Each structure stands twice: as C-alpha cells, then as structure tokens.
C-alpha cells in the first residue's frame, strides 16, 4: 500500500515565503531554500513551491530561487507559478523541479496539460485547482485566487485527468488559512470521480484534520502556516496518521 504523504507548501512572493488567510493579508515566513531543507530534515515527504504572484504579474517563476531550493533537497519538489508554455516545464525541470504545477494556464489553454504530459510524462504534471463554494458546488479561480471562472471544480478535475494530469492539487479557498479543517466534502466529491492522486490543501489546524482529509480520499495533505510558524510539526501529523492506521513513511 502506498504511504500517505505530508507536504509543506512554500507560497513564495518576491523570493520570500509568505502566508495569509484566504489568499490575503500575506506575511513573511522566511527563505524558501532554508525552509525546504528544514522540512526535509523534519520528515516531509515532498515540498511544493508556488510562486503565487507570477501569474497575476504576467511572468514566469524565478528560476534562481527554484535552483537554490532544489539544490538543498533530496525529496521530490513540485514548482508552480506563471507556468504558461511548454518551455516553462523544461526550464523548471532543468532547474531541479521533479514536478510542475499549473493552474491559470490550464484553464486558459487546456491543451498545454496534454502537451506537457506527452513531452514529460503525466507524473510531472500537477494540476492545481483553487476553488470556492457557490450555489452550484465549487467554482474554480485563477490568477492566485483573484479571478473567478465559469468552471465547476469537480468536473474540471475530471477534465484535467482526461487531459493527462498525473496529480491534482486541490485547494479550498474558503478554508485556506482558517485552521478549521479541510473541506472533506470537496475532497470526497473529487476523489470519487478521479483516479489520480489528490493533494488536499486549505484549512489544516490540528493533526486530526490531516487524518480526516486522508480518510476522505486524499493521497496527500498539504499545509503552510501551521508548519511555517512552528504551531505543528510534521512529526505530530505523522504520529496522528499512524495512530489512525494510515500508511505513513517513518521519519
């Protein structure tokens, strides 16, 4: 049985790790490379690096920051932010990323997902889906959560899988930074309809929240501020997972 993964997320703006609430009120949380190295030593299974202002600013991810981060890691690194062309996949993979995440570009140009999967393999393609509840379910947002689309999140995840995405990074904007728990209803709705791994993101506050998200069908759980500000350790999360009977990689 595959182990369930615990993944710290580095939301990066201006070359620094930042964290806010519901994608707003960002505050500094340190250096990406140093944070990634510390997380690896603490037992993280992977690290996600998201340049959260790249799409909104119309630029690609800062490659020097990615290289510096990758050079200090011996666990998988996923990088996203401003990915809009197949060349961006090449650049990020050459800079040391193991996987590349895209959100805005997938919505604007779905063919890029298929092209990237054909060129580099589905295992390299992580489709990030930022979503907020509305009257019809969950609406997809782009540009770092700033622009609403007409897409419904569950159907969009199914389409992304069909296009070739090997993994879905699913973020509840309603829960992001609240520490009230993941949106397990959303997780179940998506994992019931896709057969690629789903990373649950948005809302972690206590170890049992991670357990609940994994029991709802997620293959991995992601958090940022809890880990960044030392309010919870990866070890505490993994201990709770083990007690719940979930398969976990020992630290």
Which residues are tagged catalytic?
Answer: 11, 130
Q: E strands within the chain?
A: 5-13, 16-21, 24-30, 47-51, 77-80, 99-102, 125-134, 137-142, 147-152, 167-172, 198-201, 220-223
> CB-side exposure of 157: number of CA atoms within 13 Å?
28
For residue 201, list its beta bridge partners: 171, 222
Q: What would the two tokens of residue 183 be?
A: 């949106």
Rounded CA separation 166/76 (Å): 15
Here the tokens at position 223 are 């958090």
Strand partners, 47: 77
Is residue 106 within 8 Å of 153, Cβ to Cβ? no
Q: DSSP alpha helices (H): ranges in 109-233?
A: 111-120, 153-163, 184-191, 207-215, 225-228
Residues 6+ away with beta carbon under 8 Å from 69: 10, 32, 33, 36, 47, 49, 77, 96
């Amino acid at each position: 049985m595959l182990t369930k993964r615990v993944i710290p997320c580095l939301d990066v703006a201006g070359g620094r790790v930042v964290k806010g609430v519901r994608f707003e009120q960002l505050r500094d949380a340190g250096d990406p490379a140093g944070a990634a190295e510390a997380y690896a030593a603490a037992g993280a299974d992977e690290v996600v690096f998201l340049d959260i202002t790249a799409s909104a600013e119309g630029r690609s991810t800062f490659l020097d920051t990615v290289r510096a981060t990758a050079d200090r890691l011996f666990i998988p690194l996923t990088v996203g932010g401003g990915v809009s062309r197949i060349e961006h996949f090449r650049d990020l993979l050459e800079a040391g990323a193991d996987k590349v995440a895209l959100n805005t570009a997938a919505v604007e140009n779905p063919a890029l997902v298929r092209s990237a999967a054909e060129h580099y393999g589905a295992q390299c393609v992580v489709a990030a889906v930022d979503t907020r509840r509305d009257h019809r379910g969950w609406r997809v947002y782009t540009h770092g959560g700033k622009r609403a689309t007409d897409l419904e999140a569950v159907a969009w995840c199914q389409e992304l899988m069909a296009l070739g995405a090997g993994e879905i990074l699913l973020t509840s904007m309603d829960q992001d930074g609240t520490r009230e728990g993941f949106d397990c209803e959303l997780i179940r709705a998506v994992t019931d309809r896709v057969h690629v791994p789903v990373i649950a993101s948005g809302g972690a506050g206590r170890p049992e929240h991670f357990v609940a998200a994994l029991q709802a069908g997620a293959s991995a759980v992601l958090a940022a501020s809890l880990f960044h500000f030392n309010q919870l350790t990866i070890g505490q999360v993994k201990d709770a997972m083990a007690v719940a009977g979930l398969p976990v990689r020992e630290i």
